Amino acid sequence: MVKEIVDNLRAIRVANKISQEELARATGVSQKHISNIENHKDTPTIETLQKLARGLGVEISLKLLDKNHIEADALPRN
């Protein structure tokens, strides 16, 4: 799941022509750490993922991405 989130955040960054350096300045996360995260050399914390997402102007709903939070009683009953 984290890999997919990181890949999506990277795609958003690249699509919006935001450099790692710019994202680092906006988030307080070092450029080196962003590079390592994007290259799957470091595993980011949830807090770091949230900082990166906010820096890109998007939100991450980890609850929606976590399959363990999908419950049967959320489905409509007949």
Burial 7-36, CB ≥16 within 10 A → b, else e: eebbeebeeeeeebeebbeebebeeebbee
State pTM to two decimals: 0.77
Per-residue model confidence (pLDDT) at position 1: 75
In a domain, 77, yes or no: no
CATH number, domain at 48?
Answer: 1.10.260.40
What's the one-letter identity of residue 30? S
In a domain, 78, yes or no: no
Look at residues 42, 41, 37 and name the one whose alpha carbon lies nearest to residue 20. 37
User: Which residue range forms the structural domain that includes residue 30?
Assistant: 2-69
In a domain, 76, yes or no: no
Per-residue model confidence (pLDDT) at position 12: 92
Count of structural domains within the chain: 1
On the question of pLDDT at 75 being above 60, the answer is no
* Residues 20-74 pLDDT 10s: 999 999 999 999 999 999 999 999 998 999 999 999 988 887 554 555 543 444 4
10 in Cβ contact with 55 (< 8 Å): no
